[in-house]
Structure 1
Amino acid sequence: MTGGGPTWGIELTPEHDLERIAGLAALAEDEAFDVAFASSHYFNRDPFVALSRMADATDEIRLGPGIVNPYETHPVKLAAQTATVDEVSDGRAVFGVGAGDRSTLATLGVDQDRPLRRVLETVDVARDLWAGETVTHEGTFTARDASLNLEPSEIPVYVGAQGPHMLRMSAKHADGVLINAAHPRDLEWSAGQIEQGLADRPDDRGEFESLAFASVSVAGDEEAAREAARPPVAFIVGGAAEPVLERHEIDREAASAVSDALERGELSEAFGLVTPAMIDAFCVAGTTESVTDRFEAILEHVDGIVVGSPLGPDLEDAVERASEALTRATN
C-alpha cells in the first residue's frame, strides 16, 4: 500500500475511550504509518464506531477492522459496515477478516464451523456487494437478494491467518494476509505456505501483500516493555497450536498451565506464568534498538509489519518508538 517500501501498519485496540483511539490514529498518521486497524473483541468498544472516529481525526492513513470474524456478525452486515467506513473516510477502507478466536466464540455460544470456507465465502460475497450486485448465497451462511444501499467501491481484503490452509487460501484469493506471528521462524514457515497459495492465484487477482500482524511492546526500558507484553502473550500461548510450541521449544506443560488459568478466568495467574521464552517467541518486546533488530529480521519474510497490541506500557510513546524502529529497519 506504500508504493515501494514496506507497509507500516498499527493495531489500535478500543479498550480505551474512542477519543484516545482517534488521537492515536492521528499520531500514527503523523508518524508515517500507512494503515490502522481497529481490533474487534466483544468486550471492547465497537471497532466500526472507533473507525468512524479515526476517520474524522485523519486524512490519509487507511483504516479498517482488524480482525473481524463472520460468526459474531453476519457477513453481509460486515460488508455494509466496512463500506460505511470507506464512505466516511473518502475511500480509505480496508477489510481485515478472519475466522476469529475459537475460545472467545465459545464464550458467546458460537460454533466456529468450517472456518476456511466461511472466511472465503465472506470475501467473495463482500466483493460482490461492494461492486453493487444483488447477492443470493447458500453455503456456510445464507443471503437472499441482499444488496447495499451504498455507492459501489473497491476495498482491499486482508485475511487474518496462522494455519497452513488459511495462509494458502489468502494467497490465492485475497489482496493480502495478516499473519498472526511475531517471530522470524514462524514467518519464514508462513512464507512457504503463502508461496504455495500464490502458485494457484488467478492472474486477474492483482498484487498480493503479506504483513506480519505482530504483537509488539516497545519502551525506553526493556523490562517495562517485556512486562507489558505478558497479557497478550498469555492469550497467544493459550491458543497456540502444538507445532508452533514445538517450533519454539516451549514446554507443553508450561503452556497448558497458562491456558488453564485463562479458562478459569484467573488472568493475573496466567500473566504471571508467562515465561521469558514465551515472550521471545510471541512478541517483539524491548527497547527501540532491540525492536529494530527484530523488525529487520521479520522483514526478510514479509512485505510489511502491523505493530500489534499491546504496543507498549505508554501508548503514545510506543507509537513514536515503533515508527522510529520501522524507519531504522527499512533504511
Structure 2
Amino acid sequence: MSDGEPDSGLESGADPTWGIELTPEHPPNRIADLAALAEDEGFDLALSSSHYFNRDPFVVLSRMAAATDEIRLGPGVVNPYETHPVKLAAQTATIDEVSDGRAVFGVGAGDRSALANLGVDRDRPLRRVLETFDVARDLWAGETVTHEGTFTARDASLNLDEREIPVYVGAQGPHMLRMSAKHADGVLINAAHPRDLEWAAGELERGLAERPEDRGAFESLAFASVSVAGAEDDAREAARPPVAFIVGGAAEPVLERHDIDRDAAGAVSEALEQGDLGEAFDRVTPAMIDAFCIAGTTETVAERFEAAVEYVDGIVVGSPLGPDLEDAIERASEALTRATTD
C-alpha cells in the first residue's frame, strides 16, 4: 500500500517488495553469508529476528551490513520491553550508519509468553509501540527528548548524525494494524494465509483513512512463515516448530477463521508453556500448517505467494525458510519470481 491508498502496490503497478527473515540461531558470519545470498537472489530487505535465546540481532545486522551492498536491513522485530526504546533507537541508528543508510526499524509488542519467561509484563502494547517509534523519530532527527508515558526518558539524545529511518510495525491484531497504517511507514503482517491477509487489509484501510497526508507512502508486507524444499513432506515437517509457536499465540478469532480445533490448539499451547517443545511440535496438525505457514515445493509456494500478494505490497519470507537454508533462499526467490511476474 502506498500514498495513503488502500489498493495493493501490485495493483498500482509498483514492484513488490521481497523480504527475508534470517534467524540468528546460527553464528553471525553464517547469517551474513545468507544475507549476501539473499541479495544476490534479488531480495530487497533482510530482517534479523530478535529473541532473547538467540544471538543479538544488532550484532548480526552489523555483519550483514558488511557482507552486502544494497539490501535494506533491520531487526524483525524488536520489542520495547526487553530493551529501553531510546537504546533501540541508538542501536538502529548505528546499523543505519554502518550500512550507509540502509536500515529499517522493525518494532512490535513482542511475544507475550517469551516476555513472561523474563518476568516482563507486556502492558499497554499499542501505546508503548507507538511511543517507541515516535521518540525514535525525534532522536534520529537530532532532538533532545523528554518523555513521560509508558516509559520514561529525560533529556535523552543520540551522539549520531541526523538520519531518516523507515518504521515497520509488526502487527496481527486489529488495533495494531490500524495504528501502523495511521502512523508508521509500513507494517509486517504476522500472517501467511490469504484469508488473514484479506482481513488485515480491511483493518489497514481503516487506519489509512485517518493517516495524515504528510506521513507519505505506506507499505504493507506479509511477514509469512515459509518452508520450501524439493519434497513437500520435508518442507511441511520443517514447518512444525514455527507453526507451534504461532498457534500458541493465536487469538481465538484467528483460530475460528481457520476452523482450528480449540482443544488441539490448546494442547500445543500447554506443551509450549510447560517447555516441552518436542510434544508441542508433534501436536501440530496438517490444518495448522495449512493455516499458518506457506509450506511445500517451489511450485506450491509460488501459488501461495501469488494468492498472498493480492492483498499486500510484498512478502517477507519468514522462518523456518526450509530444511536447507541456502536451498530455501534460492527456491523462495524462484517462487517469488513466478508469483510476481506477469
Instruction: Name the TM-score class by shorter chain.
Output: over 0.9
Q: Name the structure 2 match of 1:5.
A: 15
Q: Name the structure 2 match of 1:284.
A: 294
Q: Name the structure 1 match of 2:270.
A: 260
Q: Which whole-Å CA distance do the structure 1 matches of 2:231 and 2:301 have between them?
A: 12
Query: Quick check: 1:54 aligned with 2:64?
Result: yes
Q: CA deviation at 1:19?
A: 1.0
Q: Name the structure 2 match of 1:21.
A: 31
Q: CA deviation at 1:140?
A: 0.2
Q: Which whole-Å CA distance do the structure 1 matches of 2:29 and 2:124 have between them?
A: 37
Query: Quick check: 1:205 aligned with 2:212?
Result: no
Q: CA deviation at 1:164?
A: 0.2
**Secondary structure of the residue that 2:30 maps to in structure 1?**
helix
Q: Which has the higher contact order (CA 8 A, sep 6+)?
A: 2
Q: Which whole-Å CA distance do the structure 1 matches of 2:51 and 2:237 have between them?
A: 22
Query: Quick check: 1:115 aligned with 2:125?
Result: yes
The letter of the residue matching 1:5 is D
User: Which of 244, 247, 261 in structure 2 is aligned with 1:251?
Assistant: 261
Q: How does 1:292-303 map to 2 (within 5 A)?
A: 292-303=302-313
Q: Name the structure 2 match of 1:70.
A: 80
Q: How does 1:1-331 map to 2 (within 5 A)?
A: 4-331=14-341
**Secondary structure of the residue that 1:100 maps to in structure 2?**
coil
Q: Which whole-Å CA distance do the structure 1 matches of 2:203 and 2:177 have between them?
A: 6
Structure 2, unaligned runs of 5 or more: 3-8
1:79-127 deviation line (CA, Å, top 9, x unaligned): 0000000000000000000000000000000000100000000010000
The letter of the residue matching 2:234 is A
**Secondary structure of the residue that 1:116 maps to in structure 2?**
helix
**Secondary structure of the residue that 1:216 maps to in structure 2?**
strand
The letter of the residue matching 1:323 is S
Q: Which whole-Å CA distance do the structure 2 matches of 1:93 and 1:19 have between them?
A: 19
Q: Which whole-Å CA distance do the structure 1 matches of 2:194 and 2:138 have between them?
A: 36
1:200-231 deviation line (CA, Å, top 9, x unaligned): 00000000000000000000000000000000
CA-based RMSD: 1.0
Q: CA deviation at 1:4?
A: 2.7
Q: Which whole-Å CA distance do the structure 1 matches of 2:279 and 2:143 have between them?
A: 51
Structure 1, unaligned runs of 5 or more: none
Q: Which whole-Å CA distance do the structure 1 matches of 2:186 and 2:163 have between them?
A: 18
**Secondary structure of the residue that 1:145 maps to in structure 2?**
strand
The letter of the residue matching 1:302 is V
Q: Which whole-Å CA distance do the structure 1 matches of 2:153 and 2:270 have between them?
A: 39
Identity value in percent: 85
**Secondary structure of the residue that 2:170 maps to in structure 1?**
strand
Q: Which whole-Å CA distance do the structure 1 matches of 2:199 and 2:285 have between them?
A: 23
**Secondary structure of the residue that 1:40 maps to in structure 2?**
coil
Q: Which whole-Å CA distance do the structure 2 matches of 1:36 and 1:152 have between them?
A: 23
Compute the TM-score of the two structures, normalised by the length of structure 2: 0.96
The letter of the residue matching 2:180 is S
The letter of the residue matching 2:291 is A
1:35-92 deviation line (CA, Å, top 9, x unaligned): 0000000000000000000000000000000000000000000000000000000000
